[in-house]
Structure 1
Amino acid sequence: MIGRGRAVADSGVAHEAVGAGDLDGAAAIFTSVRPRLFGIAYRMLSSASEAEDLVQEVWLRWQTTDRSVVVNPAAFLATTTTRLAINALQSARMRRETYIGPWLPEPVDTSADPYLGAERGEALEFAALLLMEKLTPNERAAYVLREAFDYPYAQIADILRSTEPAVRQLVSRARRHMAEERRTPVSAEAQRELLTTFIAAARSGDMAALERLLAADVTNIADGNGRVRVSRRPVVGAERVAKFMTALMWFWEGVEVRWATTNGQTSAVLWHDGEVYGLITVSASTDGIDRVLWMVNPEKITAAVAPA
């Protein structure tokens, strides 16, 4: 495993080897790199709760590792996290085959850490996470490590037990797949303004205003996993989405909207009778809002969102 026997730069995060019995030192190192480990795990799994569980497993393994032979603890921990995440992703995809209705990434609060432990905010927004679902686990890992964390190709090759040329191909394929469907997003300020205006139009049932905000091929997706009554099929097209939203005017009765920052963008956390009811966000390009995403699966909301 990487980090044993030779030092490997870990994107500027490096520590001295820790004695086998120095648990305090091991804990200090783990704590210092934990945000990075969580950022890797979340981008791989698209689930804050699953990422937390995985990082906890890494901590347990770190405690029982012979740390005296680990030259670069940060590299060792990142490698362990990535390899566990690849295995976990394969299992997660099998579970999603029995998911009731559309599946969406679990939101994560990024108000305190906009890049979620990374050098860049890449592979964090909902649109990017959805596109990454089409990548193979190794393509996804290579893309995340390179594009979000700026790992050298040689180190990614060690992590994936591959070669540098093969890793370059993985990253190239992943970039190509992402670019095929990805649109240039609007600024964070514009995204927040569009979301605010969209919710106001939806609450008032203003169909004309809704259509003006939406891209022609907009898709409305609701994730409830059968626990909340929502559309189990995406609604596609500006007119259809606008009609769908105006038919849901009743939904907004008694709903309080609080703003939050999740996945590097503005989201609206919906409260009803003092409880979190759901979360809505949008992705948008110069053509307008191209995705309206509703997360109303109670487990995803209560586990991952800290309202502003």
Structure 2
Amino acid sequence: MTEADLSEAGRVFGEHRGRLFAIAYRMLGRVGDAEDVVQDAWLRWSAVDPGEVADPEAYLVRVVTRVAIDRLRSAQARREEYVGPWLPEPVLTTPDVSEKVAFDDTVSTAVLVLLESLSPLERAVFVLHEAFGYPYTEIAEMVGRSEASVRQTARRAREHVEQRRVKYDTDRARMVEVTQRFIAAAAGGDLAGLMAVLAPEVTLVSDGGGKAPAPRKAIVGLELVARALVTFAGRMPPDPRSEIVDVNGGPGIVIYSGTTPVAAVTLHLVGGAVHTIHLISNPDKLGGLVPGS
């Protein structure tokens, strides 16, 4: 391939890179893994003659989808040995990153957690159809299955997700207000203040990966969760700093020690009260939250 051909290949690939990352991230739940898949796609793309590819987007999405399915199969085996609950790696969805991770609820931590219970093929079909609107005929070619098989897979995946999906609040102003109150109460060790923003059936899921202090089972119930949060806040490094930032498409909390992120928290509300809390303290999953990263 000549230098001019490589330059043209790079230009075409750049047009689709954001979508490729968004697909891979939703399938894998890890930023680094998604970037590796996109890099694999580039290596394959740079080795072909673009002039011989009628539809570059379809070609690239097919490559990313199949590589991600293979990675997801091996990742699921590793996650069975993971210490404590496994949560997706948080990603900042600020304006510069939103182009990579197009906004919709399939990028929220709550939905990504649900997708973990799907098979790799079901997850791929769900992401391609529900998040990106690809027709079943195209998805069939991308995953190497018949259209009838893909339709059946999509139906199973959709039913599985909808049966388990909680209808969380989407009012942004309310979410920010509750998040602010949550931070103030947790930082101040204010049990009553925390309980005022938590739903009676609130659930706390913490992911420390065995590398940071975190409960190894979900905690359920108003008082138990409030006390666990106060305990967690008391274990923060000296002079922690909390910021409300957009994480996975909605207001989230990142806790820093200096410029090092030590935890990320996303709150999911029902009826204006916090119904589910995802707390990630595994340092391996916080690198993308460093300011300026």
Q: TM-score, normalised by structure 2?
A: 0.91
Q: How many aligned residue pairs are there?
A: 289
Q: Tell me the equivalent position of 1:65.
A: 48
Which of 250, 256, 264 is residue 234 of structure 2 equivalent to?
250
Q: Distance in 1 between matches of 2:180 and 2:219?
A: 20
Q: Is the Cα contact below 8 Å between 1:20 and 1:67 reproduced in 2?
A: no
Residue identity in the other structure for 1:70? V
Write the deviation string for residues 171-219 of structure 1: whole angstroms up to 9, x where unpaired.
Answer: 2221211111212221233222222211211122222222232222221
2:174 matches 1:168: no
Q: Is the Cα contact below 8 Å between 1:262 and 1:305 reproduced in 2?
A: no
Which of 131, 138, 143 is residue 114 of structure 2 equivalent to?
131
Which of 33, 36, 60 is residue 50 of structure 1 equivalent to?
33
2:275 matches 1:282: no
SS at match of 2:46: helix
Q: Is the Cα contact below 8 Å between 2:93 and 2:101 reproduced in 1?
A: no
Q: Tell me the equivalent position of 2:72.
A: 89
Q: Tell me the equivalent position of 2:186.
A: 202
Q: Tell me the equivalent position of 2:93.
A: 110
Write the deviation string for residues 243-296 of structure 1: whole angstroms up to 9, x where unpaired.
Answer: 222334523551111222121011111112442222112112226212211111
Q: Distance in 2 between matches of 1:275 and 1:20?
A: 41
Q: Deviation at 1:117?
A: 4.6
Write the deviation string for residues 66-107 of structure 1: whole angstroms up to 9, x where unpaired.
Answer: 433211111100110001111110011111122122211001
Which of 8, 14, 20 is residue 37 of structure 1 equivalent to?
20
Q: Deviation at 1:20?
A: 11
Residue identity in the other structure for 2:136? Y
Q: Is the Cα contact below 8 Å between 2:87 and 2:207 reproduced in 1?
A: yes
Residue identity in the other structure for 1:215? A
**Stretch deviating more after TM superposition (44-53 or 191-200):** 191-200
2:240 matches 1:260: no
**Stretch deviating more after TM superposition (288-297 or 19-28):** 19-28
SS at match of 1:162: coil
Q: Distance in 1 between matches of 2:2 and 2:271?
A: 55
SS at match of 1:190: helix
| TM-aligned CA distance change 1:248 to 1:109, over 3 Å | closer
Q: Distance in 2 between matches of 1:115 and 1:240?
A: 39
Q: Distance in 2 between matches of 1:261 and 1:81?
A: 26
Q: Is the Cα contact below 8 Å between 2:213 and 2:281 reproduced in 1?
A: no
Q: Distance in 2 between matches of 1:81 and 1:20?
A: 25
Matches within 5 A, 1:130-149: 130-149=113-132
Q: Deviation at 1:170?
A: 1.7
SS at match of 1:291: strand
**Stretch deviating more after TM superposition (178-187 or 125-134):** 178-187
**Stretch deviating more after TM superposition (165-174 or 292-301):** 165-174
**Stretch deviating more after TM superposition (41-50 or 261-270):** 261-270
Residue identity in the other structure for 2:274? I
Q: Distance in 2 between matches of 1:274 and 1:185?
A: 31
**Stretch deviating more after TM superposition (246-255 or 56-65):** 246-255
Q: Distance in 2 between matches of 1:307 and 1:191?
A: 23
Q: Tell me the equivalent position of 1:226.
A: 210
The percentage of counterpart residues that share the same residue type is 37
Write the deviation string for residues 88-139 of structure 1: whole angstroms up to 9, x where unpaired.
Answer: 1001111112212221100112112447454x51410000000001111111
Q: Deviation at 1:60?
A: 0.7
Which of 256, 263, 270 is residue 271 of structure 1 equivalent to?
256
**Stretch deviating more after TM superposition (249-258 or 148-157):** 249-258
Q: Is the Cα contact below 8 Å between 2:20 and 2:61 reproduced in 1?
A: yes
Q: Distance in 2 between matches of 1:297 and 1:248?
A: 14
Residue identity in the other structure for 2:154? V
| TM-aligned CA distance change 1:249 to 1:144, over 3 Å | closer
Q: Distance in 2 between matches of 1:134 and 1:116?
A: 24
Aligned-residue CA RMSD in angstroms? 2.1
Matches within 5 A, 1:286-301: 286=271, 288-301=273-286
Structure number with the higher helix fraction is 2
